[in-house]
Amino acid sequence: MKRGYADTPQGQIHYTTAGEGEPLLLLHQTGSSRQYWKLMPLLAERYRTFAPDNLGSGNSDPLPPNVQIADLARSMVHFMDFLGIEKAHIFGFHTGNKVATEMAAAWPSRVERLILCGQTHSIMAEHEALNAALKARVGPSIRQFEPEPDGSHLVKQWAADFGCVASMWWDTTNFAREKLTPELFQRRKERVTDQLQIRDVAEVYRAIFDFDLGARMRQIKARTLIIEVATPQEEHLGRQGEKLMKLVPSSRLATVEHTAGGTVVEAEAEELARLILDFLKG
Look at residue 161 and tell me whether its pLDDT is greater than 90.
no
Mean pLDDT for 114-137 is 94
DSSP 8-state class, residue 164: H
Give tens-digit pLDDT for 62-103. 999 999 999 999 999 999 999 999 999 999 999 999 999 999
Residue (of 63, 1, 5) closest to 36 by Cα position:
1
Q: Would you state the pLDDT for residue 54? A: 97
Supply the pLDDT for residue 27: 98
* Domains, the chain, ordered by start: 2-281 (3.40.50.1820)
49 vs 185, higher pLDDT: 49
Looking at residue 26, its pLDDT comes to: 98
CB of 132 within 8 A of CB of 208? Answer: no
Distance CA 98, CA 211 (A): 8
User: In the predicted model, what is the mean pLDDT of the chain?
Assistant: 91
